[in-house]
Amino acid sequence: MALVEKDEKNSPNIPTLEENHYYIFSSDFDNSSCSDAMSFIIARNLMLGKSRPKCIKMIINSPGGSVPAAFALIDTIKGSKIPVYTYGMGEIASCGLLTFMAGAKGKRFITPNTAILSHQFSWGSMGKEHELMASVREFENTSARIVAHYKKCTGQTEATIKKYLLPPEDVWLTPKEAIKYGLADEIVDFY
């Protein structure tokens, strides 16, 4: 089945991405882009009967972005009663990887030419001393959430995660390495 947008005049019988429950996330992670994806998932969960899909397919191509926005989307994916299959294409970096690996276990697909970036949480802050101390606490909490997410999604130990996936430097992985570390389940040519 072709996955193209419907052109009412020329091809009324070609199904749309939306009709087939595909969502393409190809942008930075921010509140707006994540809200759109969350709405897509929630809307499908509200469907009844035969119109309710068996799965949702999310294609991710992203350089990353806001960790809090990504975790809102991750919580939506994990809370979905309909399994969300994830497809990594192009680049899944930082928040893109966090979200990709939240897909249904066994249904996290990656294409052969996908660039994969895993790295520690980074941030910047300015303000008064007490404000900076509060920011440091939130930084530590967010870093702990990221490690816990990696553990849950990969099955790796915290020591392995910190050594190979979240060391001080950025880690670029091949699709085969992503499978080795439990970040992805299968390399596919396409969806």
H/E/C letters for each residue in the chain? Answer: CCCCCCCCCCCCCCCCCHHHCEEEECCCECHHHHHHHHHHHHHHHCCCHHHCCCCEEEEEEECCECHHHHHHHHHHHHHCCCCEEEEEEEEEECHHHHHHCCCCCCCEEECCCCEEEECCCCCCCCCCHHHHHHHHHHHHHHHHHHHHHHHHHHCCCHHHHHHHHCCCCCEEECHHHHHHCCCCCEECCCC
Confidence (pLDDT) at 12: 65
Q: What's the pLDDT tens digit per position in 18-58?
A: 888 999 999 999 999 999 999 999 999 999 999 999 999 99
Domain assignment present for residue 156? The answer is: yes
Domain assignment present for residue 11? The answer is: no
CA torsion angle for 15, 76, 88, 5 (degrees, to 10)?
20
Q: What is the pTM of this model?
A: 0.87
What amino acid positions are annotated as catalytic residues?
94, 119
Confidence (pLDDT) at 99: 98
Amino acid at 77: I
Domain assignment present for residue 6? The answer is: no
d(CA 171, CA 116): 8
Cα 22 versus chain centre, distance = 14
Confidence (pLDDT) at 132: 65
Asked if 171 contacts 178 with a C-beta cutoff of 8 angstroms, the reply is no
Q: What are phi and psi of 148, to 5 degrees?
A: -60, -40
Domain assignment present for residue 153? The answer is: yes
The pLDDT tens digits along the chain (191 residues) read 334 444 445 556 777 888 889 999 999 999 999 999 999 999 999 999 999 999 999 999 999 999 999 999 999 999 999 999 999 999 999 999 999 999 999 999 999 999 999 987 666 666 677 666 776 677 678 789 999 999 999 999 999 999 999 989 999 999 999 999 999 999 999 76
Domain assignment present for residue 101? The answer is: yes
Tell me the CA end-to-end span of the chain in Å, nearest whole number. 11
Q: CA geometry: angle at 87 spanning 174 and 92, to 5°?
A: 50
Domain assignment present for residue 10? The answer is: no
Confidence (pLDDT) at 2: 37
Task: Tell me the sheet residues that pair with 93.
Answer: 117
Domain assignment present for residue 12? The answer is: no
Closest CA to 98 of 135, 58, 125: 58
CATH number of the domain that residue 104 is part of: 3.90.226.10
Confidence (pLDDT) at 142: 78
The number of domains in the chain is 1
